[in-house]
Structure 1
Amino acid sequence: MPEDKDQLPAWLVVDPEGAVVTFSKAYEIKNLKLDRLTLRAPTVRDVRSATSASAGDDDQRDTILLANLSESDAKDLEGLKLTDYQRLQAAYFRLVQDDGV
């Protein structure tokens, strides 16, 4: 049976205020071993600040933005497996998606 396009994956919980992403394994983030991170919903200020700090590097902007929204450090996020980093990106896009409601 095909998966419902709007159904969230098991590793993601989203509400209007933020998202919780569960990783495939625990990572050291801010000197703690964590297997999940919470992203708060972004503001325009968050996006502008990350864009300004990244000096035109889109990948760096994304990392800065995700670090800010998760209250972690960009260096910590750079140590994630790519699949776990992509989970954070997917959560971000769910948070900024306009459901038309």
Structure 2
Amino acid sequence: MPERKDETPGWLAVDLERALVTLSKPCEIKEVKVDRLTLRAPTVRDVRAAASASNGDDEQRETILLANLTETDIKDLEGLKLTDYQRLQAAYFRLVQDGGV
């Protein structure tokens, strides 16, 4: 059965404070093999700090923000499979959408 747009995918668990993203395959984060990443809900401070550090580069701003929210290094996120990076992006948008999860 196809997934409806408003349904939460099986790889994502989300509440108002955080999202737990199951990766499509384990990867190394800070030299530890993991199969899930937790993304905390962003603050205004997080968004402003990432914007300031990125010097106007939108892709860099997003990577800085996701690294901060997952407490990982940018180089680790850049090493993720694209599918898994896109899962983090989707989790972020679930966390910031108006009207809850």
TM-score scaled by length of structure 2:
0.95
The gaps in structure 2 that reach 5 residues or longer are none
User: Runs of 4+ in structure 1 displaced over 4 angstroms?
Assistant: none
Q: CA RMSD in A?
A: 1.5
Shift of 1:4: 2.7
- Map 1:1-101 to 2 at 5 A: 2-99=2-99
The gaps in structure 1 that reach 5 residues or longer are none
TM-score scaled by length of structure 1:
0.95
- The one-letter code matched in structure 2 to 1:48 is R
> Matched residues in 1 for 2:83 and 2:92: separation?
14
> Matched residues in 1 for 2:85 and 2:2: separation?
25
Q: Would you say how many aligned residue pairs link Structure 1 and Structure 2?
A: 101
Identity of aligned residues (%): 77
SS at match of 1:84: helix
SS at match of 1:33: strand
> Matched residues in 1 for 2:2 and 2:59: separation?
32
> Matched residues in 2 for 1:3 and 1:82: separation?
20
